[in-house]
Structure formats: structure tokens, C-alpha cells
Structure 1
């Protein structure tokens, strides 16, 4: 039996995520990576030092457990969507300028990727009419990345859990509906 390469499946899937426009402004492409807290800090610091964009960030949180057998893996997968922001914003401003224009549209695109890929099935959670569970974190960077009073970045973020069935089938072409993301 061949081990599914979940990290590769996600990498290839998220490489298809399109950019979008809001008020004639083109969004930045998502930067995807995976790992634990230490890896996250290292990746962000390295990208900062090398002057590479790291936001919006889609992070697959590890470690993760799932059940696997005969070319199929099932389980709950946790992701974090984050973007760098200003410490000066109030929460109502964060939701209008960051969540509504960056985080929610990108969440919609990720969910579309899960539902439209040939090799992934987005399942409901146990006996619930729920396809994902999310938690919003306005002004999260100082808690997530900071050491003391000097955070690496200021984040507005959201985490979300999805229950997926992943196979080793071909991903196929994904046609995103950009009209439904805002």
C-alpha cells in the first residue's frame, strides 16, 4: 500500500487558487505552507529577511492525525488563514477592511477548491449540517508570533477545521466562481 502524500496534494491544490479583485484592486496570491509553531516562525522570519511576501498566508497546521488506507485518507484538517495588518485598527475596522476583503474571500476560495477537486471530498461534521468550523482572531499576531512586546507581525487571522476525504486520484481542473467570494 502506497502512502498518500497529503502535503503534496494540498500544495498542488492551493497552487490553483486564483487572485480576485475588490473595488478594482487585485488581491495578492495566497502563500501556502505547513508545519508547527516553530516552522511557522522560521518561515515567516526567513521570508521577511529575504523580502518575500508571506501574506495572505494559508497554513496547514501540523501535527495532524487522520485515518488512511487503500489510497484514501479521512480526517479533520486544521488550517489558518492570516494576513499582516496594523496594530492601530479597531475590531470593527479589521472586519470591514481585512476580514471582508482578504480572509473571507480566501476562505471561500479554499472551500471551493475542496469541493471542486476530483481527489477531495468536503464532508459534514458528525451529525451536523456543518462543512467547516472556524474561529476568528482579530489582532492575533502579537499572541501568535510575538516574543514579549515585539511581535514579528500583527495578524488578523482565522482558523478553520474541515472534515476531508482525500484520494490519490487526479485533482482535475478547478473552475473557481469569483462572484460568490465577496
Structure 2
């Protein structure tokens, strides 16, 4: 199997895994907490550790943690639950793949994702660690626009300044800093 076809299948499976877990408990009992309906996950996804193992087949540690956090899991009546409701259609099907950069244990891949009349271009950094035969996705572009991969709210980047806007002058004193002499 050539490398592009392998990347296409790998990325398609990686993009579908979050939706697969979020949509798995349909038709089960619903618990309401603070106006939000929750439904328990099936046995194969009933712990964060099990979910993490599934995500780690494809994604690196930071992206796995972000994806688990964005599932909005909650422990109710001894069961791990997800919010109940319609999951918006995300572009998850890989239409085409292009390798942009290649190193012995690393690839930068650009993919066109399609889904529900949307078309998105996403760049991935894939890394192969040690003697492992498969790649792991370490970085993904467009994270801030996709609710599955959003970083935590505390780590929001500073707002970008317009290029023509003047930067505030530094409040530090210019010139040499004089050292105080000890007596």
C-alpha cells in the first residue's frame, strides 16, 4: 500500500474517532443536571482511560487530552456520561492527501476534509517514535475552529494586533542598569 493511501485511511479513522465516542450512547437513559441532559457511555467507553487509549492510537498526548476535555464528560450515578443531543456534522472524510515535508521519522501532511457541504484544509504533523510502525498525530492546524480539538480556555492566545497598530513602548528604563554596591 502506498504511503498516501495509508495516510488517507489513517487520518480518516483519526477524524472519526471523537464523533464515534460522542454519538455512541444514543437511545439510553438520560439524566438532567443544571438543565443539561446527559446519557451514559457504553461499556467499551465507560472510563477516561479507555477513551484515552482509543484516542492515543492516532493522536498525541496533548491532542488526546483536549479531545477528552471537549467531550464534556461527567460522572453521574456511577456512570461516565456525555451531553445528550445532536452532534454537529464535522468535516471528517479525507478527500485528498499531500505530503508537504518528509523526514525519516516525521511527515507534514496536508489533507482536504469534507463533510456536510463543508470543505476544510488541515495540516498535520505526524511522528513515528522509536521502532513503532505507525505514525502519531502530534499537531493539527485549525484547532481553534473545531470544537473537538480546542485548547483549554486558560491557554487562550493573546489577541493579534493589526499590523499598522503601534506597539506600546516598553516601560523599562533605557540605558545601562547600575548595580547596587554592597557595604
Question: Which TM-score band (shorter chain)?
Answer: under 0.3
Instruction: Say which structure, 1 or 2, has more relative contact order (CA 8 Å, 6+ apart).
Output: 1
With the length of structure 2 as denominator, give the TM-score of the two structures: 0.27
Structure with more helix by fraction: 1
User: Which entry has the higher C-alpha Rg, 1 or 2?
Assistant: 2
